[in-house]
């Protein structure tokens, strides 16, 4: 009998791809506020669920008796929601999901965000050093990224209280093959007019997010760990330090970047999980890849 994984936020972009990947090897309980148009998907049981409600969330997770819980069911930005609503929804729902996972004895993989490093500041600042690692200072600006730090604290609490592990993934701007949103930004980039870009022109392909989630589920580690999820290169096709100097006027004194290397390090995920990003905008922008059929 296959093991079970609970995945939240399955009608969103990232989680739908995660479900589509995991259902080949697991029985997947896929939860979101509403059901998809079709629920007849092999290996997947869909559940309509409001994650801010503790009782139904606990019931769904505990009844599933999962090996792992993958939590991507948050409001992804403040563009269409007041910051306070985003914070409340994300912090409460993440707490309930992770707490239920801990009580079920399930390991946790969940989506935090690169924005905790301060990428949403109106005037982004240079860090003290590059590349940016998981140990860099966090500098939340709005309710969204503050909710992500609250979720990381919840992950720490759950691993302290229960014998489970938790991986908090901090993904960059997630892109989908054949429809990369970064393309117009790259095409318009000019060294003479460049301005500050909060995440230093970083991104990650959805397929690398999926493989990182798998690697975190499969890995054997204790407690709560945070992992960056970034492509290996910037999306401009120029030297990273040159772009940063053009946009910011300088680079940090402590800077260990070469060529088009991302300003964010994924060495921790490589060391602990055996994971490395495989996809680059250089081929992915033009790729034709079928996504999940149920969204």
Which residues have CB under 8 Å from 251's CB, separation 6+? 126, 130, 241, 244, 245
At residue 119, the pLDDT reads 85
* Cα 206 to Cα 187: distance, rounded to the nearest angstrom: 21
User: Tens digit of pLDDT for each residue in 225-274?
Assistant: 999 999 999 999 999 999 999 999 999 999 999 999 999 999 999 999 99
Q: What is the mean pLDDT of each run of 10 residues along the chain (295 residues)?
A: 93 95 97 94 97 98 98 92 95 98 98 94 93 97 96 98 98 96 96 96 98 98 98 98 97 97 98 98 94 87
The DSSP symbol for 115 reads G
Strand boundaries in the chain, DSSP class E: 4-8, 27-32, 44-48, 68-71, 107-111, 129-130, 166-171, 174-175, 204-205, 224-229, 254-255
pLDDT for the residue 80: 86
Contact status, residue 248 vs residue 126, Cβ threshold 8 Å? yes
Q: How far is CA 174 from CA 34, 114, 191, in A?
A: 23, 11, 25
Q: How many C-beta atoms surround the C-beta of residue 32 within 10 A? A: 23
In degrees, to the nearest 5, what angle opens at C-alpha 229 toward C-alphas 200 and 80?
70
Phi-psi region of 176 (alpha: psi -120 to 50; beta: other; left: phi over 0): beta
The pTM of this model reads 0.97
Q: Name the superfamily (CATH) of residues 4-284.
A: NAD(P)-binding Rossmann-like Domain (3.40.50.720)
269-276: long-range contacts (C-beta < 8 A, 24 or more apart)?
269/212, 269/215, 269/227, 269/228, 269/229, 272/219, 272/221, 272/225, 272/227, 273/167, 273/212, 273/215, 273/216, 273/219, 273/227, 274/215, 274/219, 275/211, 275/212, 275/215, 276/232
The pair phi, psi for residue 93, each rounded to 5°, is -65, -40
Burial of 45 per CB tally in 10 Å (0-12, 13-18, 19+)? middle
pLDDT of res. 1: 64
Break the chain into its structural domains and give their ranges.
4-284
């Amino acid at each position: 009998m296959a093991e079970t994984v609970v995945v939240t936020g399955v009608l969103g972009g990232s989680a739908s791809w995660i479900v589509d990947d995991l259902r080949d090897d697991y029985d997947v309980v896929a939860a979101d506020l509403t059901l998809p148009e079709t629920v007849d998907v092999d290996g997947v049981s869909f559940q309509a669920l409001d994650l801010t409600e503790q009782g139904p969330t606990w019931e769904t997770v505990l009844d599933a008796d999962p090996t792992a819980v993958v939590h991507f069911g948050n409001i992804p930005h403040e563009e269409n929601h007041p910051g306070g609503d985003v914070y409340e929804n994300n912090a409460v729902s993440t707490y309930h999901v992770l707490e239920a996972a801990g009580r079920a004895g399930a390991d946790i993989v969940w989506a935090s965000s690169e924005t905790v490093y301060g990428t949403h500041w109106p005037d982004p600042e240079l860090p003290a050093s590059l590349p940016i690692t998981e140990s860099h200072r966090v500098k939340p600006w709005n309710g969204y990224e503050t909710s992500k730090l609250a979720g990381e604290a919840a992950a720490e609490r759950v691993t302290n209280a229960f014998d489970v592990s938790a991986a908090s993934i901090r993904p960059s701007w997630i892109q989908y093959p054949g429809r990369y949103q970064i393309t117009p930004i790259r095409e318009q980039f000019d060294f003479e007019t460049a301005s500050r870009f909060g995440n230093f022109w970083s991104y990650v392909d959805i397929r690398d997010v999926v493989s990182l989630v798998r690697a975190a589920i499969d890995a054997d580690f204790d407690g709560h760990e945070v992992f960056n999820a970034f492509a290996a290169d910037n999306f401009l096709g120029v030297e990273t330090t040159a772009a940063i100097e053009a946009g910011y006027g300088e680079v940090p004194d402590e800077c260990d970047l070469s060529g088009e290397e991302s300003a964010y390090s994924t060495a921790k995920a490589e060391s602990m999980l055996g994971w490395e990003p495989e996809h680059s905008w250089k081929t992915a922008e033009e790729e034709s890849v079928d996504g999940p059929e149920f969204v």
